[in-house]
Amino acid sequence: NQMNIITVPTPTEAVERAAAIVADEIRSHAAPVLGFATGRTMESLYALLVARYRKGALDFSSMTSFNLDEYVGIATSAPQSYHTYMHEHLFDQVNMPAGHGHIPDGMAVDLNAECAAYENRIRASGGIHLQLLGIGDTGHIGFNEPPSAFDTRTRPVVLDPVTRQQNAGMFGNNPDAVPERALTMGVGTILDAKRLLLLAVGSGKADIINEALNGPISEKVSATAIRLHDNATLILDEAAASIW
């Protein structure tokens, strides 16, 4: 396949490689449109982008971004929301104009209308130049739990029990406290981005990375859709790459 797979010895190097690619992408557009992801893996990537900004090596003043997903029913200001995550790790640390960082509103009264509006905002931006992706234990990208058709768009989804377990850390280690639903860009929305960059580190990701790369391309593992994209880069550390 056409995927560009980069394996480096350590998680630190993996995150550095990914941050360098994101920084180059930001610098190569007058008005960059980035697709952002959350999760523990991305925290250190945002820290590196903030460090570059502080050195004067990156400018966010003309950037627009769209996040992949958000929990349903968590207050925007709650510590567990992806709004809070993005403000803490990036938006409030750099010179990104207020309102340029888009995240689906999981508190919207009409969730379907919110998702349709989110799709329209992405389209109106001209499309995402680079979409950052993590991968969940279910093989999800964004919150596209199995099965997610490859033509799905931004929509409300029910989270898999495996995902609620994986993300319980922010909810007092109680999977039952993790919201049952989320809003997520669809697999089709993600595939529309001009470039995809998936970052996965640690031995905990080795099995699912193997499935994503070697398993049948299937709606049962959303991440296999990446193999259908013509400009996808995967950055792995040796632990995450240890099985495939």
Phi, psi of 183, rounded to the nearest 5 degrees? -105, 135
Is residue 232 within 8 A of residue 4, CB to CB? The reply is yes
Kindly tell me which residue out of 64, 67, 154, 163 binds ligand GLP, with binding defined by CB under 6 A.
Answer: 163
Query: Rounded CA gap, 184 and 190, in Å?
Result: 10
By CB under 6 A, which span of 21-29, 59-67, 128-136, 233-241 interacts with ligand GLP? 128-136
117 vs 168, beta carbon nearer ligand GLP: 168
> How many residues bind to ligand GLP according to rule CB under 6 A?
14
Q: Does 222 bind ligand GLP (CB under 6 A)?
A: no
Kindly tell me which residue out of 11, 32, 106, 136 binds ligand GLP, with binding defined by CB under 6 A.
Answer: 136
Phi-psi region of 90 (alpha: psi -120 to 50; beta: other; left: phi over 0): alpha
Q: Does 135 bind ligand GLP (CB under 6 A)?
A: yes
Near ligand GLP in 24-83, by CB under 6 A: 37-41, 68-69
Kindly tell me which residue out of 11, 104, 139, 142 binds ligand GLP, with binding defined by CB under 6 A.
Answer: 142
59 vs 146, beta carbon nearer ligand GLP: 146
For the chain, list the strands marked E by DSSP. 4-8, 33-36, 64-67, 69-71, 101-102, 130-133, 155-158, 181-184, 195-200, 232-237
59 vs 105, beta carbon nearer ligand GLP: 105
Specify the DSSP element, H or E, that contains 162.
Answer: helix 161-166
Q: Does 167 bind ligand GLP (CB under 6 A)?
A: yes
Residue ranges binding ligand GLP (CB under 6 A): 37-41, 68-69, 134-136, 142-143, 163, 167
